[in-house]
Structure 1
Amino acid sequence: MKRICILIMLISLNCFAQKTTIYTIGDSTMADKIKPEENPETGWGQVLPLFFNSDVIIYNRAVNGRSTRSFIAEKKWEAVYKVLKPGDYVFIQFGHNDEKIADSTRYTNPHTTYRHNLIQFVKESREKGAIPILFSSIARRNFNENGVLVSSHGEYPLETRLVAQEYKVPFVDLEYYSELLETSYGSEKSKALHLHFEPNEVAYYPEGKSDDTHLSKKGALAIAGLAIEQIKLLNDKSLDKLKKKMKK
């Protein structure tokens, strides 16, 4: 009986050891949403579990409305840092709220504070033996009168890329790939990737909704799919374990 108990314990420990953990940190475009059974808004981090096998555990720590500044100031990063362990992955995507120049609790200069905060996430993840991956912000559906998609993120995506290059961090340019996605749909059809509803079209928005930043479930699935496909293409040995646990 004792031998059986030991065997069961060893099997359980082995199964647990094979699990891979991903922490996602970022803003509302990535975050889980309340009442998902009713709420059409969906974060791309919310649907990530659909792209991995059962050996991956995802803790989505992205929060609506947060910038790198507020995520650190509210100790949300500290809460993640404390539980990181060797071999974990940290998906990092900020920018939308760092741009809010009228809000001193969230705004960051892309070349100073924003850059510094990204470096902090990278260095402190690595201190714990975790593997950071940087993502540029997803594009807004921002077409001009000529049907041209216009970027609204300024130099934040560039600074994310520069930090990734300098610190040799795996980088996915989600702004670029989401721009391609938006333009492939075009000005009108791309509304389906976001939150566009007439009054009483969906119960959650009885007064209707017109939101070109946040994602519908269709949009979230598309963005998460782009993120996963680009990670698969990255030539970085630190991602090998993660790639093996992605669904085909």
Structure 2
Amino acid sequence: MKVRSLCLCFLSSLGLLLAADEEAPALNPELPTLFIAGDSTAARNNNPNIQGWAEPFADFFDTEKVNISNRARGGRSTRTFIAEGHWAKLLADLKAGDVVIIQFGHNDGSPVNEDESVPEEKRRSRGSLPGLGSESVEIDNIVTGKHEVVRTFGAYMQEMIDEVIAHDATPVLASLTPRDIWKDGHTERGSGEYRTWIRELAARNELGFVDLTRLTTDVWEQLGETAAKTFFTQDYVHSNDEGARFNAAMMLSGLKGLRRGKIDRLEGWLNRTGEGVPADSIGWLNLPEPANAELPSIVLIGDSTVRNGGGDGAGGQWGWGEPLAQIIDAADYNVVNRAIGGLSSRTFLTQGHWDRAKTLIKPGDWVLMQFGHNDAAPLTDNRRARGTIRTAGDEIQAVYNLVTFAPEVVGTYGSYLRGYINDIRALGAHPVICTSVPRKIWDEETGLIERNGGGFPAIAREVAEAENVPLIDLNELVAVRYDAMSKDEVETMFGDERTHTSLVGAQLTAEIVAEELSKLLEAK
């Protein structure tokens, strides 16, 4: 068995090298081209058990409308893809209007230069320096025998980005394909920090970013470990044919869902199969995940008053979850703000956001929920269909959902909160209910901030008491702070007319949450 394993390993490596030396097929010069630059996880490999996603990727496109050119090469890092001339060959074929998907990282973590103790057949000397900085190191490359200045991963990526843009073409950055590594029923969500660095590079350059890591692992988590492992045959890094096609579909889904760096002509390039792949609906939100899997997390779910848009303060509007992450010591807890604007306790569940969030929750975590603002909407309409029945009971109402075009049984605000509580407890985590933050509405009789909130804060209090769940009464606590201010001061707390807080207003609410949460943490 050991000899057979070694033989397979050797043949696999040989296959990767052969694939790397193959010339790219000729392009139709009359058509735009979508290029892929990457490593063996994208490349065409001469091995039936190992296939890169960029090979079946062409099956989603009408090749009479666009060239799909897979230039990914096995075993390459950003550094060696450039140094060996693969990048120069791609640039020689690149023209205005083309698109280049750039995906590296798996091999950049290798040694910068092996020493003589490493057997010659195992020497690669392909690693880049970590990070996005301008650091460099000079080496005498043990593989090529040449003197070389090695730069950071970010420097090599930035070089590629700049040169694509210089050709009037469009670069799109993609995070790594995930590896088949599982722990406690959950899969690894990235090799090292490359995903974070790639995301930051995309933001810095205002480019499209496809988080292939998230897209694939979100589905893996729903399938379960046994089913997800069918995408791998020979090792835990390289997918088989089936896994490659799955990854290709996820990449296309990510491209379809781009807002920043959107490819305007993409839909016109697709064939019927490609048209059937749904667009990623949440990529633009840049939803966070636990930064340190070894630490407990404080997970937030809710609406735009917790996390507005992409959590970047667009339009001067902030949810309180972003500044909370700055207050909580990152050495003690991850703050994972999974709240999404425009949702109610009902639609956060029915649109699948809760299922995704649950995969990030582990025993000992804390989960804070704050809904209510959008629960007051109609049970069904042709815009959002997000309302809930305004009680703490178990009433239900059958509706025809004019958004999903399907029948739906709608429950009460209280029943949805209880559902979250039960799920959180089943995961071994601690649920906490937050009442909805007050709007900037003045009670004409008292001159104070209105507390009612459509009755949902009262329902949240009732559920918290009945279920013996801690309550952070933000509706009251924040309103008290506003009452102590002048109306002009309260104005500065808001980024719009009356609902969404400014940064300073979000910071105030976050301070209150942190104070109340610290009491709960100390009590445990």
* CA displacement at 1:227 relative to structure 2: 1.1
User: Which of 382, 388, 394 does residue 108 from structure 1 map onto?
Assistant: 388
Gaps of 5+ in 2: 1-291, 394-411
- Name the SS for the 1:193 alignment partner: coil
User: Which of 432, 450, 454 does residue 154 from structure 1 map onto?
Assistant: 454
Q: CA RMSD in A?
A: 2.1
Choose between structure 1 and 2 for higher RCO, CA contacts under 8 A separated by at least 6 residues.
1
* CA displacement at 1:229 relative to structure 2: 1.2
**Going by fraction, where is helix more abundant, 1 or 2?**
1
Question: In the alignment, does 2:434 pair up with 1:135?
Answer: yes
Question: In the alignment, does 2:311 pair up with 1:50?
Answer: no
Tell me which amino acid in the other structure corresponds to 1:77: W
In the alignment, what sits opposite 2:480?
Answer: 180
| TM-score, scaled relative to structure 1 | 0.77
Mapping of 1:202-217 within 5 angstroms?
A: 210-217=496-503
Whole-angstrom distance in 1 between the partners of 2:452 and 2:490: 16
1:103 to 1:189, Cα distance in 2 relative to 1, 3 A? farther
1:31 to 1:189, Cα distance in 2 relative to 1, 3 A? same
CA contact (8 A) 1:140 1:152 kept: no
Tell me which amino acid in the other structure corresponds to 1:75: G
CA contact (8 A) 1:33 1:39 kept: no
Show structure 1 runs of 4+ deviating over 6 A.
none
Aligned-residue identity in percent: 29
* CA displacement at 1:32 relative to structure 2: 4.5
Whole-angstrom distance in 2 between the partners of 1:232 and 1:121: 22
- Name the SS for the 1:155 alignment partner: helix
Whole-angstrom distance in 1 between the partners of 2:293 and 2:379: 46
- Name the SS for the 2:301 alignment partner: strand
CA contact (8 A) 1:44 1:224 kept: yes
- Name the SS for the 2:454 alignment partner: coil
1:117 to 1:191, Cα distance in 2 relative to 1, 3 A? same
Tell me which amino acid in the other structure corresponds to 2:477: Y
Tell me which amino acid in the other structure corresponds to 1:176: E
Query: Which of the pair has more CA radius of gyration?
Result: 2
Whole-angstrom distance in 2 between the partners of 1:36 and 1:80: 20
| TM-score, scaled relative to structure 2 | 0.38
Mapping of 1:56-205 within 5 angstroms?
A: 56-101=333-378, 103-104=380-381, 105-111=385-391, 112=393, 113-145=412-444, 147-195=447-495
In the alignment, what sits opposite 1:222?
Answer: 508
Whole-angstrom distance in 2 between the partners of 1:116 and 1:19: 31
Mapping of 1:8-47 within 5 angstroms?
A: 19-34=295-310, 36=312, 39-47=315-323
Gaps of 5+ in 1: 1-15, 196-209, 243-248
